[in-house]
Chain A
Amino acid sequence: MTRLLVPFAIRAYLAGGLVAVTAPVIGSFLVQRRLSLIGDGMGHLAFAGVALGLWMGISPVWGALGAAVLGGFVLEVLRARGRLAGDLSLALIFYFGIALGIVVLSAIDRFDASALTVLFGNILVTDWTDIAVIAVLCAAVLGVTAVFYKELLAVALDEETARASGLPVDRLNVLLLVLTALLVAAGMHVVGLLLIAALLVIPVAAGSRLAHSFRGSMLWGVAAGFASALVGLVGSIAQGTLASGGAIVLTAIAVFVLATVIGRRAARRHPRRVGA
Chain B
Amino acid sequence: MPVTVELTGVRFGYGAEPILDGVDLDLSAGEFAVLAGANGSGKSTLLKLCVGLLRPADGSVTVLGGSPLDPAIRRRIGYAPQGLRMATSLPVSVTEVVAAGLTPSKGLLRRMDRRDWSKVNAALESVGLGDLSAECLFELSGGQQQRAILARALVADPDILLLDEPTTGIDQRLRPALAQELRRRADAGATVVAVSHDPDDFHQECDRILVIEDGRVRQITHEEFHTHLALGGGGSR
Contacts and interface: CB of A to CB of B under 8 A. Distances in A.
Interface string B153-176: 000000000000000011100100
Contacts of B96: 153, 157, 213-215
B104 interface: yes
Contacts of A158: 81, 85-86, 100
B189 to A, nearest CB: 19
Q: Please indicate which of the listed interface residues B100, B139, B152 has the most CB atoms of chain A within 10 Å of its own CB.
A: B100
A164 B74 CA distance: 6
B77 interface: yes
Interface residue SS majority, chain A: helix
Given A274-B139, A276-B141, A213 B104 contact: no
Nearest to B156: A165
Nearest to A148: B108
Given A164-B79, A275-B143, A275-B144, A214 B90 contact: yes
Contacts of A213: 91-93, 95-96, 134, 136
Contacts, number: 126
A212 B139 CA distance: 9
Contact of A276 (B53, B95, B143): B143
Nearest to B70: A166
Nearest to B97: A157
A32 to B, nearest CB: 5
A204 interface: yes
A212 B134 contact: yes
Contacts of B92: 32, 157, 213-214
B221 to A, nearest CB: 30
Contacts of B108: 147-148, 151
Interface string B53-72: 10000000000000000011
Contacts of A212: 91, 93, 134-136, 139
A167 B91 CA distance: 23
A28 interface: yes
Contacts of A154: 100, 103-104
Contacts of A274: 139-141, 144
A166 B85 contact: no
A216 B75 CA distance: 28
A211 B92 CA distance: 9
A273 B90 contact: no
Contacts of A28: 90
A165 B91 contact: no
B85 A31 contact: no
A143 to B, nearest CB: 12
Contacts of A164: 48, 51-53, 74, 77, 79, 81
B43 to A, nearest CB: 16
A98 B91 CA distance: 34
A81 interface: no
B220 interface: no
Interface string A181-215: 00000000000000000000000100010011111
Interface string A127-148: 0000000000000000000011
Given A28-B90, A150-B112, A275-B141, A167 B135 contact: no
B147 to A, nearest CB: 9
B81 A161 contact: yes
Contact of A208 (B73, B91, B93, B132): B91
A122 interface: no
Interface string A260-276: 00000000000011111
Contacts of A32: 87, 89-90, 92
B143 A165 contact: no
Interface string A142-179: 00000110110110011011111111100000000000
A79 interface: no
Contacts of B51: 164
B106 interface: yes
Given A157-B86, A165-B101, A272 B135 contact: yes
A3 interface: no
Contacts of B174: 276
A21 B81 CA distance: 36
Nearest to B142: A276
Given A164-B77, A204-B90, 18 more contacts: A32-B92, A147-B109, A150-B106, A153-B96, A153-B100, A154-B103, A157-B96, A158-B85, A162-B100, A162-B103, A166-B72, A208-B89, A214-B93, A273-B135, A274-B139, A275-B141, A275-B143, A275-B144
For the complex of A and B, list the 9 residue pairs with the smallest distance between their C-beta atoms, beginning with the closest.
Answer: A166-B74, A276-B171, A213-B93, A166-B71, A154-B100, A166-B75, A212-B136, A165-B104, A154-B103
17 contacts: A28-B90, A31-B89, A33-B87, A33-B89, A34-B89, A150-B99, A160-B81, A161-B79, A161-B81, A162-B103, A164-B79, A166-B71, A208-B90, A214-B96, A276-B169, A276-B171, A276-B174
